[in-house]
Chains A and B, each alone.
Chain A
């Protein structure tokens, strides 16, 4: 059993005991003639509201309607306390006598969603509570019960002075304010009912009509007091019993018929979730757009680099070679020694040009990688690196070509950076396939301080890895070496 349900059961037991106590109080009262009717009215309203309220609370724990209905039920027990012969219980009863109506107005105005909508509703509810607590208590301070139409009632223990005028004036203010507030409530609730869609109207209809009728009777009661004929009072009383007994069931019916409260909650939760998803999606699209632009730019940059390398390297050597050969041809007959020298130089240039072309071709696409796999290609990289490289782990088996390429270029670029900037003694390379991913790690013991955003090299690697749904990171505190890591999914 949940803790909420335990608490609700405890409240139910409390309501039952309070009802039994209230009935005993009323039936033994010395200052009430219609005892049976009073018991019927108070118990039907109190138990009706408390019971249906607790049920609604259990069904819709996230909606305030259940707690408010329960509160209305318990507030009715104040009315029962006014039947007591004890001064203190009587006084508490009188002060709390009208609270149930205030909670009822609160309930009507926030039905069925459970939250007050609009400033008018909030003002009406606040003033109603003021009317039924502050004004009610203030009036009691100046009221002598026996002079107020309550023959045989206990003495007022908090009486300041028996000023009938003050008491009557406060009573007039209370009643006038109550009539205005009830009228506004009726207008607001009826207006809300008229403007509602079918679903919401479904919920409101039983409440609006039963509640409207209840407040109509209340208005009549307020208007006719005090001192009309006993027959009229009796009719009003019986009507009130009937209506107030029905009212909680009208609320419950309305609440259960309505899908509004629940639907609104779901809709607002969905819309919040939707908004978050949208924001995430927009961020992702933006990231993809930026990364796509960088990949395209990286392609252009690569072409420029290749052109530059060809121009500055092999092409220049071939130019020099051309000039040397032309010169050698010119001197062929007249100076064999010079011709020999020129041809030697030409061969040297040719060798250098060939080496540069080979290096360049490897940078464009590492043939060793595609022909013999990652282990061999990483071995080649380690061998050519000016900083000693220890290959801690490399995969023996072939991996999908895009993953081999990405892993190779991560290692190649990282080792180039080590050679250029790290001032490292040694670097270690680890490439392992485990748990559906290929983990790549290059670690050096150099000066650190590398940043992904600092240049295009690491950023390009990040894009390359991200294109395979992988993760890429660089940790490089100054003085603590650099670790480049990539994790690429590989099922």
Chain B
């Protein structure tokens, strides 16, 4: 997947499960994204965004320490110019209003995650 300017979209994957990060990286790269980094918890995610300035953060909700909602809120507060997409192995309904209140662009359940669903949400 290429963005409008013909440069691949840079992505940071934030998840505490290595198997998911590996699978997501392979899938996103196969879809034309450029995975620039991975983080296993919220604090590491905030550091990585500051350092790498990715276009997109694929952010798991349930993280050790501060959770995905909190990471999104802090990135928003810090004025980070990055699009946040929340993801989880849980269902959208499990989070109630928290998804709507979050500054994240949207939510994709892990079972539905693909280059196409991501492009649809961020396009």
List chain A positions with a Cβ less than 8 A from chain B: 311-312, 315-317, 319-320, 322-324, 326-327, 330-331, 349
Contact = CB atoms under 8 A, between A and B. Distances in A.
Contacts of A326: 27, 114
Given A312-B17, A317-B19, A323 B89 contact: no
Given A312-B17, A319-B110, A324 B23 contact: yes
Interface string B16-47: 01011011101100100000000000000000
B113 interface: yes
Interface string B55-99: 000000010000000000000000000000000011000000000
Given A312-B17, A326-B114, A320 B62 contact: no
Contact of B113 (A312, A317, A323): A323
Given A311-B62, A311-B89, A323 B26 contact: yes
A349 B111 CA distance: 15
Nearest to A338: B30
Contacts of A330: 30
Contacts of B111: 319, 322
A490 B49 CA distance: 62
A315 B26 CA distance: 19
Contacts of A319: 19-20, 23, 89, 110-111
The residue in A316, A323, A349 that gathers the most chain B C-beta atoms within 10 A of its C-beta is: A323
A317 B20 CA distance: 8
B17 A349 contact: no
A63 B38 CA distance: 90
- Looking at chain A's contact residues, the main secondary structure is helix
A323 B111 CA distance: 8
Interface residues of B, number: 16
B25 to A, nearest CB: 10
Nearest to B24: A323
Given A311-B62, A326-B27, 7 more contacts: A319-B23, A319-B89, A319-B111, A323-B23, A327-B30, A331-B30, A349-B19
B89 A315 contact: yes
B40 to A, nearest CB: 13
Contacts of A331: 30
Contacts of B113: 323
Nearest to A313: B17
Nearest to A311: B89
Contacts of A323: 23-24, 26-27, 113-114
The residue in A311, A317, A320, A331 that gathers the most chain B C-beta atoms within 10 A of its C-beta is: A320
Nearest to B62: A311
A340 to B, nearest CB: 15
Contact of A316 (B20, B27, B30, B114): B20
Contacts of A322: 110-111
A330 B27 CA distance: 10
A486 to B, nearest CB: 35
A228 B53 CA distance: 130
- Counting from the closest, the 5 A-B pairs by CB-CB distance are A320-B23, A323-B23, A320-B19, A316-B17, A319-B110
Contacts of B17: 312, 316, 320
A188 B24 CA distance: 100
Nearest to B26: A327
27 contacts: A311-B62, A311-B89, A312-B17, A315-B89, A316-B19, A316-B20, A316-B89, A317-B19, A319-B23, A319-B89, A319-B110, A319-B111, A320-B17, A320-B19, A320-B20, A320-B22, A320-B23, A322-B111, A323-B26, A323-B27, A324-B23, A324-B26, A326-B27, A326-B114, A327-B26, A330-B30, A349-B19
B84 to A, nearest CB: 20
A320 B24 CA distance: 8
A37 to B, nearest CB: 109
Contacts of B110: 319, 322
A325 to B, nearest CB: 10
B86 to A, nearest CB: 15
A66 to B, nearest CB: 82
Contacts of B24: 323
A317 B17 CA distance: 9
